[in-house]
A and B are shown apart, each in its own frame.
Chain A
Amino acid sequence: METEVIEKIVSIEKPHLEAPPDWQPVIMGILCNWCSYAGSDLTGTSRIQYPPNIRIIRIPCSSRVDPWFIIKSLQTTADGVLVSGCHPGDCHYISGNYYARRRFLVTKKLLNFVGYHEDRVQFSWVSAAEGQKFANVVAKVTEDIKKLGPLRLYKKENS
């Protein structure tokens, strides 16, 4: 799964490169503490299956997500990023996810503008009661990123 991690560090996406046969994407999941993280908990306790490619980081609120986190994840290990928070209106901090929503849009558009596919970075609203939805979202994101292939392999380096 982690072939040539080093090359990844110094690389930037070169698409349409053939993925190694046993390749599995690494997806960074940034989940808000109050809804999505609890939702993912529920998915677990309800024994719903979802792809194991996601690596979850818990944060206090979706508005804590600096676009920096997304960029940094892509630059290092992740092939894709999923950010998830409370549904609009349900934010534990009243309006955090409204602010976050604006940032997400700009981040997504800018990444697309510099040549990354829209689906590399995805966002979702998952509440604490939506165990099944979380599983579906992760499945969809994993599926999308698998289609796009690995985000790495550009060996030209720094000459």
Chain B
Amino acid sequence: MDYTKQIKEIAGKLFSEEKIDVFIGYRNSGFDENQVPVLIHHYQDVDQLVFTEKSVFNLTNYLKYEHTRNKRVGLVVKGCDSRALNLMLTENQVKRENLYIVGIACEGVVDEAGQKAQNCLECVMPDSVVFDEMLGTPSGKREYQVNADIRELDGKELTERLTYFEEVFENCIRCNACRHSCPLCYCDKCCIDQETSTLYHGANTTSSAFHALMTWSLHLAGRCVDCRNCEKACPSHLPLHLLHKQNEKVVYENFQEHQAGMIEGDRGAFYKYSMSDPDDFIM
């Protein structure tokens, strides 16, 4: 998967036609094989752009920041990124007319070890669902399958899961990197920030991590698109995807096979309801 040439061309064209103010893409870090997201403002910088299977980070995250507000932005999105973008569009965080979206028919990105990333193996929608231009051949929607880790943990005893997650929460250092790197966590004031929340206090204890991570993942339930920006950002390498995948599973199984950000205008599982939703757990 290498679309470097095409992306350079597209970005160059957009700049020369003055269709955009800023283009968000990837460049080589120059130190190792990793890539660094880059915000390009001028035509002459277009040459930096690359796109390979090392282009991991979800770029829609940058649409949250002041740099891109009210500017015409061009950006590259993979399948999962485009689903996040779709949600941002329906939640009125960005304006469609301000965006020029270069969609990718993604063949999967690689992780640090050079293996195909886990979320790409389970990807349900590798192609961009919202785009102005599409690179590659779309391979279509795939069957949903329950994450292997979830299946494994589900088979365990309650206390075993408790011990496992106890360790997860204990290792959390409450840096909030997960929240900041998530494109869908765009609130200016977050309920798990000490400075802005009246209920949350900032001590980095195990229970505060429990509180913060649980609240955070529940606020993303039915919205998480499994781009794993949070896991990449986590300095403690916590398996944050477990919480999201669990929510995704519950949502998929119980709410008419809902999947976040697949359809334009679909606001997520918790903005709608059905009379036939499960009711048996309620007294």
User: Direct contact between A and B in the complex (CB less than 8 angstroms)?
Assistant: yes
Which residues from chain A sit less than 8 Å from chain B, CB to CB?
A: 9-13, 15-16, 66-68, 71-72, 75, 88, 95, 98-99, 101-118, 122-125, 137, 140, 154, 156-158
**Min CB distance, B109 to chain A, in Å?**
27
**Quick one: closest A residue to B217, CB to CB?**
A110
Interface-lining segment among B48-56, B136-144, B153-161: B153-161
Contact A71 B211 (CB under 8 A): yes
**Min CB distance, A135 to chain B, in Å?**
12
**Quick one: closest A residue to B242, CB to CB?**
A113
Q: How far is the CA of A124 from the CA of B279 in the complex (A)?
A: 10
Contact A114 B206 (CB under 8 A): no
Q: How far is the CA of A85 from the CA of B279 in the complex (A)?
A: 13
Contact B161 A115 (CB under 8 A): yes
Contact B206 A12 (CB under 8 A): yes
**Min CB distance, A137 to chain B, in Å?**
6
Contact A101 B251 (CB under 8 A): no
Q: How far is the CA of A67 from the CA of B219 in the complex (A)?
A: 8
Contact A115 B250 (CB under 8 A): no
B236 close to chain A: CB less than 8 A = no
The answer to whether A114 and B247 touch (CB under 8 A), given A11-B206, A101-B279, A106-B222, is no
Q: How far is the CA of A103 from the CA of B208 in the complex (A)?
A: 22
A-B contact number at CB 8 A = 137
Residues of B within 8 A of A15 (CB): 158-159, 162
Contact B207 A106 (CB under 8 A): no
B3 close to chain A: CB less than 8 A = no
Which residues from chain B sit less than 8 Å from chain A, CB to CB?
A: 153-154, 158-166, 169-170, 191, 199-200, 203-208, 210-211, 214-215, 217-219, 221-222, 242-243, 246-247, 250-251, 254-255, 269-271, 273-275, 277-279, 281-283
The answer to whether A109 and B279 touch (CB under 8 A), given A68-B215, A102-B270, A157-B205, is no
**Quick one: closest B residue to A140, CB to CB?**
B283
**Quick one: closest B residue to A116, CB to CB?**
B162
Residues of B within 8 A of A68 (CB): 191, 199, 215, 218-219
Of the candidates A75, A88, A106, A123, the one whose C-beta lies within 8 Å of that of B250 is A106
Q: How far is the CA of A101 from the CA of B280 in the complex (A)?
A: 11
**Quick one: closest A residue to B273, CB to CB?**
A98
**Min CB distance, B248 to chain A, in Å?**
10
The answer to whether A125 and B283 touch (CB under 8 A), given A9-B207, A105-B278, A158-B204, is yes
Contact B283 A115 (CB under 8 A): no
**Quick one: closest A residue to B258, CB to CB?**
A102
Contact B207 A10 (CB under 8 A): yes
A-B contact pairs, 8 of them (CB 8 A): A12-B210, A68-B215, A68-B219, A98-B274, A102-B254, A110-B214, A154-B206, A158-B204
